[in-house]
Structure 1
Amino acid sequence: MTGRVRIRDSLSFGWRTFRRNTLFFMVLLMILGIPLAILGALLGGLPPGGADPSRLLLEVTLWALRSL
């Protein structure tokens, strides 16, 4: 044992894992964010804090029925 620590190997592994996890979370945020953005655009006329869950369900149902 020489007492040396090989930092380069651990950093390269950490960087590869970081890139993989970052890509995963970016895709996850896109998958969650796109439907939320569509709902936000549909309910754009509501005042802030006025997003009633029953109204949200009604609006989404009406939108889905209109799109059929």
Structure 2
Amino acid sequence: MSRRARSILIAVGLLALACLVGSVLGSPWLGLALGVLIGIGVLIAGESRRGGNQGIYDRDDDGAEL
């Protein structure tokens, strides 16, 4: 299975699981929103790991500065 197909299957699975959790909580739309947010977080984490930027600490970086 290709890496892209595996990523798509994981995303669809997370979205379905989040929709199920939302249904248990009483709102499928809440589950859908949670699924989208979790999916974005997983995507960012995966790209960070793939790019070699995971765990980089920059002591001079204090966040956004004007």
TM-score (norm 1): 0.38
Higher relative contact order (CA 8 A, sep 6+): 1
Rg bigger for which structure? 1
